Every structure is written in C-alpha cells, then in structure tokens.
Chains A and B, each alone.
Chain A
Amino acid sequence: MIFLTEEIVTVKDLKKYFITKQGTVKAVDGVSFSLMKRETLGLVGESGSGKSTVAYVIMGIYPPTAGRILFRGKDISREAGRRPTAMKKEIQIVFQDPGSSLNPRKTIKQILELPLKVHHISTNEGRTEQVLALLEMVALPGDYMYKYPLAIGGGERQMVAIARALATNPSFVVLDEPTSALDVSVQAKIINLLIQLQQEFNLTYLFITHDLSLMRNVASRVAIMYLGKICEVAPTVEFFQNPLHPYTKMLLSSIPVISKEEEKFKPKKIVSRGEIPSPVNVPPGCSFHLRCPEKREICSQVDPTMVEAHEGHLVRCHMLPEA
C-alpha cells in the first residue's frame, strides 16, 4: 500500500531571522517546498545559503520566525520542546559532523539506546537485542556496542548516527551534509546504504549538501538556495540538463570533474566573481545580482518571484519572464 502522492512534509514561506549585534541575519527568507513520500529532495547551497538552518527549523532546533511547517497535514511550526513526543519519533536527523554528533563520553550502546528508552520501544531486556539489530542494519559488527565513538573511524561513526536516526522507525529523515567530512570511498558506502534503507523502510529524505555531483546521484528533485531563498527547483535530470538560474549555472560550471564526458556535460564556464555576501547585508533586489553575469537594471531593484518555467521546474530570476 504505497500512497505515491502522499505529501509528508510541507514548508510554506518559512522564515528564520537571527537578531545579532551586527544586525538581523536573514538565514532563511521565504522558503517553500513539499516532499512526497519516498522521494529525496536535495537542498543545495554554499555557505550562508541557509540550507542547514532550514533543516534545523524543520527539526525544531529553532522556532520559525514566520511561515509554517506541516507534517502529514499537522502544523508543527514550533520548537521541538513544544511538539508532541510522538512527533519526534517520526522525524529524525543525521548531522554533518560525525565527530560531534555522538557523545564522546558514551558508548555506542548507550547512544543507540537513548531513542529506544525515550520512546519506550523495547523493555530493558530487549534493548540489547535491539541495539544489535540496529548495528546489523548498518553493517557494523555487534561488538562495536561497547566502543566509544572516537575509537572508530569517521565513516563508521556516521553509520552509527544513521542507525540512531532510524531507531525510532521514522518516516522522514533529514540528512545534513552526511558525508561532507568523509572520504570518497567511505561516502560511496554510506550513500549506497542510505539508498538501500530508503527502499527497505519507505523513507522520505531531505538531503542537504554543497556537492552537486553527489546530489545528482541521490536526489529525485533538487532545489538550490542562495542567501536564504530558493533560486531554482527541478527534477534532477531536468536540473542538470537544463539549468536556468545564473547561480545554478555558475555552480555547475565550477565543479571539478574527473572525466571528459562530464566536462562536455557541464555548462559553459562561468568564472565566479566576488564573494558570497553576508546574510546580514543582503543586497537589495535580487540577492544574487552583485555576482550575476547576466544582470540587468531591474535586478538591483526588484526581487524576482518564483515562476514555473517548465513543468515541475521553477526559477526565481528576472531573465525568465515566460510563465
């Protein structure tokens, strides 16, 4: 019984501002998207784009400044502390840095037991069995239970983090740069594991990364963010074959690739100019205009709205007036 078009998560005009001494940081400034069951939405962006902040607000680590988050239709637009406990079972996150996402003073067994304890998933006796089952799910040996996180490699720590996230049998998992700190061969293993687990447990993923090549192999739809706003969203194949937003094209053309086929596939080289502005000082009009090679006068005055260029392919850019 697979409801192919069931909407699991919807984010509507989400905003998150942080008030700091330097000014208001508009980390997330009006982001909207939906996730269907069993799909993987990729969220791509560089530093300052707000992609991780989106994840944290969805998880409830921060309360949203404005906008709404819906999970299976229910409004969960508040901090984790004020969400029902049952909700916390359903939504889980795998953090970026395996070194600090596992408490260095706890054993792997204690780390994996916590979600089981909180949600009363098994009794005292059953927990050890459960932990062994979780370790087996991520292909780690059972005697890892008694090890401490720093005694095992980065890739293995990340697998423990994945096992922990899946301990409560969630339906939605946020993956915040899960492999950025890892080597390529370890990354391959983890990505393949994630894909396999998604199929086995019918999971929906929000996959966040700055690595576009990785995104192409993992996501079914890709959204690219710049300074707190989404610039372009499209199904993966369309996104890579027909990128429309100048920032997307700039990013794609800067990726270092390793084969001639890929070289030919990349869009024409756009030499990136300038630095990414700080989210405290968002440029007026279109936030990208200072670095945009195709900028026009209107770009520095008016912020463009999201427009559907092709089916399922939305862009926010003055260059594309066709609706």
Chain B
Amino acid sequence: MEPAGTTELTRKWKKIKKAWYKFSRNPLSIVGSITVLVVIFLAIFAPFVAPYPEHAGSFVNFSEASKPPSLRNPFGNDTIGRDILSRVFFGFRFSLIMGLVVLLIAVPPGVTLGLLAGYMQGTWIDKIIMRITDIFVSVPALVLAIAVCSVLTPSVFNAMMAVTLMWWPWYCRMVYGVASSLKNEFFVQSAEVTGAGKLYIIFREILPNCYGPIFTKISLDMGWVILIGSSLSFVGLGAQPPTPDLGTMVADGAKYIPDQWWISVFPAFAIMFVVLGFNLLGDGIRDMLAVEEV
C-alpha cells in the first residue's frame, strides 16, 4: 500500500531506483556506462582536457615527429608531430556525432514504418513497406557508403548520409516482428473493441512494448556506426585531413607498423574502447527495460 501523500515525484523517483537496480545486476553494464560517460565527457570537453588542443587542427612540428609514448605525450606523436592523445579526444567527437546523427535520422522512420507494417500485417501497406525494406537490406551498408562517397566528394556528411540510408531498414524489420506479434494480444484487441483509433493503438499500445528492443539496438548500433564510420575514414572516404578522426588516424599510422606502432594502435584501442562501452551499455539497457513479473 502506498502511504497517503505520495506525489508524482516520489513515484518517478521509485521508478528510477527500480530501473537502476535492474540495470546494475550485471557489473559489466556499469563498466559500460562508465566507459560511455568517459568518452562523452572527453568528447565534449576535449578543448579543455586535451593537453595540446591545437594539435587537433592544422599543426605541424617536425621536431617532435614520431616521438614514442612518454610522460609528455602518453600516446606518442604522429608523423607530423601532433600529440595522439589529444587527437584521440577530439576523435571521439566525430565518432559520437556520427553515431548520433545517423541514429537520430534513421530510427524514427524505421520504427514508424515497422509499426505500420506490423500492425497492418497482411495488407498492401505491409507488403509494400516490407518489400522496400528488403531491397535496402540486401545492400551492404559499407559497400554502398563507399560507392556514394566515391561518386560524390568524400566527406563526413556524405558518409553519414550513406550509412543512414542503409540503417533504417533494420529498425523497420525489428519493430515489424514485435508489432505483428503484439497485434493479436488481448490488450490490443481490447483497445480495438473499445473503439480506439489505429494511430492510438500503434503509438500508445504497441510502441511502448517495443522500447526494450529499440533502445538496446540503438546502444549496440552506436558501436556499429562508429566502426563503420571509422572504416570509411580508414579508406579515405570519411573525414578528410587534418580532421582528427579515429579511423583516419589508424590509416595514417598503418604503414609505420611495427616500428612506430603507437600511431595506429592507440587510436585503434580508442575505437575498441568506445564500441565495447556501448555494447556493454546495451546489455544493461536491455536488462533495465525488460518487463518482468513480480
């Protein structure tokens, strides 16, 4: 029994506490969330926490070129004398922005189309939407991105657009699966029988039951998008020099392995760090959003 005088705020606080309990069952989820928070912090405050913020732009100092890791430059310097640690911090910015933009643009239409097709399963709406989805799904994202960037000018923007184009169908499919199975549940039929409109049912009855898979996928996708973005930069089709992008940095140092190994290895580890963080976070989100019986 709730004591009298419980306010909206108390209820919300209780919900948050319970969500945190579910999230933190697995210690790795906490590791993941700390990792992601660190990356976000470094990305946002890069100009202030990086030891050599000016190295992120056009900066050249051949006297310090290719210096191995030291106390002054924990990650060493690259071939034109820039501090790799600072550039990694700034590199996080581009990775995160890429992930955010792609997902912000790809997820809403993907989810909406999936809901529509799933709820209207069997009708022509379903068939059209899913056939279009099938077409997009059959093209590998990376390959299309490379093609787009080769035809147009290589840039971060074009790379993001290409990846976004390839990303929305996966959300559509996933939500389609959940929505089409939910549409026969009693609570949906109850709403229909009461007279609720189709839009209400799709967005207020079915969609909330899709949050779990959607947000988990978003978190895991951050890792994927960052990887793909880095891969594009690695082949020269994403961020262009002197932009400090993690993929580009790995590419730049590739020819100097194994002698000046630090030029590639630290940025590569940075990519791994970010992706792993989002993956672990994704597990935690899945646990947190799972609906369970008391």
Contact of B11 among A119, A146, A151 (CB under 8 A): A146
Contact A101 B187, beta carbon cutoff 8 Å: yes
In the complex, chain A residues whose CB is within 8 Å of the CB of B190 = 93, 95, 101, 161, 164
Q: In residues 89-138 of chain B, which contact A (Cβ within 8 Å)?
A: none
Contact A150 B208, beta carbon cutoff 8 Å: no
Contact of A118 among B1, B196, B211 (CB under 8 A): B196
Contact of A100 among B6, B185, B191, B204 (CB under 8 A): B185
Q: Find the residue from B1, B187, B189, B292 having the highest chain A CB count within 10 A.
A: B187
Q: How far is A69 from B153 in the complex, measured between Cα atoms in Å?
A: 66
* Interface flag for A41 (CB, 8 Å): no
Q: In residues 181-211 of chain B, which contact A (Cβ within 8 Å)?
A: 185-187, 189-196, 204-205, 208-209, 211
* Interface flag for A141 (CB, 8 Å): yes
* Interface flag for B9 (CB, 8 Å): no
Contact A104 B209, beta carbon cutoff 8 Å: yes
Over the window 147-169 of chain A, the binary record of Cβ atoms lying under 8 Å from chain B Cβ atoms (1 yes, 0 no) is 00011000000000100100010
In the complex, chain A residues whose CB is within 8 Å of the CB of B196 = 114, 118
* Interface flag for A85 (CB, 8 Å): yes
Minimal beta-carbon separation of A105 from chain B (angstroms)? 4
In the complex, chain A residues whose CB is within 8 Å of the CB of B209 = 103-105
Task: Find the A residue at minimum CB distance from B194.
Answer: A115
Contact B191 A114, beta carbon cutoff 8 Å: yes
Q: Tell me whether A143 and B187 are in contact in the complex, defined as CB-CB below 8 angstroms, given that A114-B194, A150-B293 are known contacts.
A: no
Q: How far is A106 from B293 in the complex, measured between Cα atoms in Å?
A: 14
Q: How far is A114 from B190 in the complex, measured between Cα atoms in Å?
A: 10
Q: In residues 243-294 of chain B, which contact A (Cβ within 8 Å)?
A: 291-294
Q: Find the residue from A61, A92, A95, A105 having the highest chain B CB count within 10 A.
A: A105
Contact B193 A60, beta carbon cutoff 8 Å: yes
Q: How far is A105 from B193 in the complex, measured between Cα atoms in Å?
A: 19
Q: Find the residue from A80, A93, A114 having the highest chain B CB count within 10 A.
A: A114
Contact B195 A101, beta carbon cutoff 8 Å: no
Contact of B6 among A96, A101, A143, A151 (CB under 8 A): A143
Q: How far is A93 from B194 in the complex, measured between Cα atoms in Å?
A: 9
Contact B291 A88, beta carbon cutoff 8 Å: no
Contact B1 A143, beta carbon cutoff 8 Å: yes
In the complex, chain A residues whose CB is within 8 Å of the CB of B191 = 114
Contact A88 B185, beta carbon cutoff 8 Å: no
Over the window 167-204 of chain A, the binary record of Cβ atoms lying under 8 Å from chain B Cβ atoms (1 yes, 0 no) is 01000000000000000000000000000000000000
Q: How far is A104 from B1 in the complex, measured between Cα atoms in Å?
A: 20
* Interface flag for A13 (CB, 8 Å): no
Q: How far is A85 from B197 in the complex, measured between Cα atoms in Å?
A: 11
In the complex, chain B residues whose CB is within 8 Å of the CB of A146 = 2, 11
Classify the secondary structure of B's interface with A: helix
Contact A88 B2, beta carbon cutoff 8 Å: no
In the complex, chain B residues whose CB is within 8 Å of the CB of A27 = none
Q: How far is A150 from B293 in the complex, measured between Cα atoms in Å?
A: 5
Q: How far is A141 from B2 in the complex, measured between Cα atoms in Å?
A: 10
Contact of B292 among A59, A88, A99, A150 (CB under 8 A): A150
Q: In residues 74-110 of chain A, which contact B (Cβ within 8 Å)?
A: 80-81, 85, 88-89, 91-93, 95-97, 99-106
Contact of B193 among A61, A103, A119, A151 (CB under 8 A): A61
Minimal beta-carbon separation of A81 from chain B (angstroms)? 7
Q: Tell me whether A104 and B291 are in contact in the complex, defined as CB-CB below 8 angstroms, given that A95-B186, A146-B11 are known contacts.
A: yes
Contact of A103 among B11, B187, B195 (CB under 8 A): B187
Minimal beta-carbon separation of A173 from chain B (angstroms)? 12
Over the window 34-75 of chain A, the binary record of Cβ atoms lying under 8 Å from chain B Cβ atoms (1 yes, 0 no) is 000000000000000000000000011100000000000000
Contact of A97 among B11, B186, B292 (CB under 8 A): B186
Minimal beta-carbon separation of A156 from chain B (angstroms)? 12
Over the window 125-148 of chain A, the binary record of Cβ atoms lying under 8 Å from chain B Cβ atoms (1 yes, 0 no) is 000000000000000010100100
Q: How far is A103 from B206 in the complex, measured between Cα atoms in Å?
A: 9
Q: How far is A153 from B189 in the complex, measured between Cα atoms in Å?
A: 22
Q: How far is A42 from B230 in the complex, measured between Cα atoms in Å?
A: 67
In the complex, chain B residues whose CB is within 8 Å of the CB of A61 = 189, 192-193
In the complex, chain B residues whose CB is within 8 Å of the CB of A141 = 1
5 closest A-B pairs (Cβ-Cβ)? A105-B208, A101-B186, A88-B195, A95-B186, A103-B187
21 A–B contacts from the bound complex (CB under 8 Å): A80-B195, A88-B193, A88-B195, A93-B193, A96-B186, A100-B186, A101-B186, A102-B187, A103-B209, A106-B204, A114-B194, A115-B195, A118-B194, A118-B196, A119-B194, A141-B1, A143-B1, A150-B291, A150-B292, A150-B293, A164-B190
Given contacts A97-B186, A106-B208, 14 further A-B contacts (CB under 8 A): A59-B193, A60-B193, A61-B193, A80-B193, A96-B186, A100-B185, A100-B186, A101-B190, A104-B209, A105-B211, A106-B205, A118-B194, A141-B1, A150-B292
Residues of chain B touching chain A, judged by Cβ–Cβ distance below 8 Å, are: 1-2, 6, 11, 185-187, 189-196, 204-205, 208-209, 211, 291-294
Residues of chain A touching chain B, judged by Cβ–Cβ distance below 8 Å, are: 59-61, 80-81, 85, 88-89, 91-93, 95-97, 99-106, 114-115, 118-119, 141, 143, 146, 150-151, 161, 164, 168
